[in-house]
Amino acid sequence: MAAEIRELSYSQAIQEALAIAMERDERVFLMGEDIGVYGGAFQVTGDLQQRFGEGRVIDTPISELAGAGVAVGAALLGRRPVYEFQFSDFATLAMEQIVNQAAKIRFMLGGKASVPLVMRFPCGSGTGAAAQHSQSLEAWFAHVPGLKVVQPSTPHDAKGMLLAAIEDPDPVMFFEHKLLYKTKGPVPEGYYTEPLHEARIRREGSDVTIVATAIMVPRALEAAVKLAEEGISAEVIDLRSLRPMDSRTLVDSVSKTTRLVCVYEGTKQLGIGAEVSAMIAESAAFDRLDAPIIRLGGADCPLPYNPDLERAAVPQVPDIVAAARASVQGKR
């Protein structure tokens, strides 16, 4: 009889990765608002303070700028901090430390110093947290040389990519969509890593490529099932890594299907889909396209509090189905 596959939630997978990293390396420690006694705003850190002590799971004051600065300094001195922003939106208060310091120190010191730092960002809409607590700002950070930006969509990848990020010598921005925290999936026990530079083909297809990020990956997979009922074969790619971006997987897929739909939650204008589209337009896949590229992003507005308006402001499964169908049928 085959062994039963162990399933964990996305949040459990992250907590397990943090615990494993702290057990393997005494230099690893956690920082963030309410991550200790309270266990984190989304209960991701759970009982880690009880297990590892207040010296390694540190409740920080309500100052993202100060916390990020301490994390950067600790990384420069040889520690491996993991700093949690309670909401990704609060990173706006710490952009100086992230963009002007962490991202540039290795370059400005000629490689003589590195910043082995992970910053965790609970992000995205769907929880009724309104405009200042629901944004998807990953494209901001993906614009900055010196930062690595990842956005896993499954519990398996959340654990493996977080362990890889903690071991990386450079600052890694780790985005976790809040609606994924309760989703479950198979997660191996013990230590393993996932690469920080590779996309994953979640479903193979032949008619249209759907490139998705974060919560849009399960929505794209659901859309692909509905499209299959119409006779449309959709290939779904989980981008996973925004910087660096896996251009080879994307180019190979689009060259095969000859159509591309980019689905992401951040504002459509200047979002991740714009970069994916431009990269395909500049590649050999461009001459293979049989339809214009379609970008399906968030509305050009702050995220509403009203649940119906909130859903309308970001792509949902019917929107993905309609976009893929339009691409295959040659309509916009």
Catalytic pick among 16, 33, 64, 84: 64
Task: List phi, psi (to 5°) of 112.
Answer: -80, -10
Active site residue 64: yes
List 236's β-bridge partners, or say none. 203, 210
Of 251, 209, 198, residue with least CA distance to 233:
209
Sign of CA dihedral 137, 143, 147, 149: positive
Sign of CA dihedral 36, 134, 82, 47: positive
Strands (E), 204-305: 208-212, 234-238, 241-243, 260-267, 294-298
Q: Is 110 exposed, middle or buried (0-12, 13-18, 19+ CB in 10 A)?
A: exposed
Catalytic pick among 33, 133, 156, 235: 133
For 269, the 3-state DSSP assignment is coil
Radius of gyration (Cα) for the chain, nearest Å?
20
Question: Which residues are within 8 A (CB) of 193 and not within 5 positions of it... i.e. 6 or more apart?
Answer: 160, 161, 163, 164, 167
Helix (H) or strand (E) holding 327: helix 317-329
Alpha-helical segments (H) within 146-215: 155-167
Active site residue 143: no
Q: Show the tokens assigned to 275.
A: 């970069």
Of 280, 278, 32, residue with least CA distance to 143:
278
Residue 53 CB coordination number (10 Å): 12
CA–CA distance, 279 with 261 (Å, rounded to integer): 13
Q: Show the tokens assigned to 282.
A: 């500049």
Query: Among all residues, which ones are annotated catalytic?
Result: 64, 133
